Structure 1
Amino acid sequence: MKENMTTTTFNIPGYSILRSLGVVRGIVVRSQSIIGSIGASLQTIVGGNISLYTALSQYTRRGAFERMLKHAEELGANAVIGIRYDTTDISRGVTEVLCYGTAVIVSPAESTR
């Protein structure tokens, strides 16, 4: 599935929703390594952006997003609308990231054909 066929809105401009296939999701649970935690702790002394945590967050969100897309493809969807992220701290240093949306089948709208 093309990433341009995903959106946080509930429609894709120029396309008509033909069928809704239901909620799809991708879940990733991640923890920072002890070495990474020490590096991030050192970065907090200086202040500003904690790049180690930023990189981990981006990597984790990307993984959850890709798993969601795979779930949508398994259902036969060619687009996902209403995409959202949710996070939960499972325990100290362990975070779950959930990416979810509605899998749909879309077709170019009549006016764009």
Structure 2
Amino acid sequence: MKNAFVTTAFGFEGYRVAESLGVVRGITVRSRSIIGNVVAMFEAIIGGRISMYTELCERSRLEAYDLMRTHAMELGANAVIGMRYDANEVAAGITEVLCYGTAVRIEKIGQP
């Protein structure tokens, strides 16, 4: 699914859903390191963007997104519609990031 379509919408203009393959998800669980917490604390004191946490969140979302795409590919999908993220703290300093959507096969409208 290297060139797969992924959208938060429920379709793609110019395409139709030929087959729905079910819900797909990617999940990752990450923790903040003590060093990261110390650096983030200093960034918070200074004010502004807290880059340590921003980078951790971005890496977590990307990993969950890639896992979701892999799951879709395993089902034979060429697209994912209705993609969403969710995050929950499972313990102090430990966060679960979930990326999910519906795996589908789409085809260009007018294609036989």
Shorter-chain TM-score above 0.5: yes
Deviation at 1:33, TM superposition (A): 1.0
What count of residue pairs does the alignment treat as equivalent? 112
Q: Which residue of 1 aligns with 2:84?
A: 84
The TM-score with structure 2 as length reference comes to 0.95
C-alpha distance in structure 2 between counterparts of 1:48 and 1:3, whole Å: 36
Distance 1:3 1:45, change over 3 A: farther
Q: Which residue of 2 aligns with 1:66?
A: 66
Q: Which residue of 2 aligns with 1:24?
A: 24
Deviation at 1:32, TM superposition (A): 1.2
Deviation at 1:4, TM superposition (A): 5.7
Distance 1:53 1:9, change over 3 A: same
The TM-score with structure 1 as length reference comes to 0.94
Mapping 1:1-113, distance limit 5 Å: 1-2=1-2, 5-110=5-110
CA RMSD of aligned residues (A): 1.4
Share of identical aligned residues, percent?
53
C-alpha distance in structure 2 between counterparts of 1:12 and 1:94, whole Å: 36
C-alpha distance in structure 2 between counterparts of 1:70 and 1:105, whole Å: 14
What are structure 1's unaligned runs of at least 5 residues?
A: none
Q: Higher helix proportion, which one?
A: 1
Helix, strand or coil: the match of 1:16?
A: strand
* Structure 1 stretches of at least 4 aligned residues deviating more than 6 Å after TM superposition: none
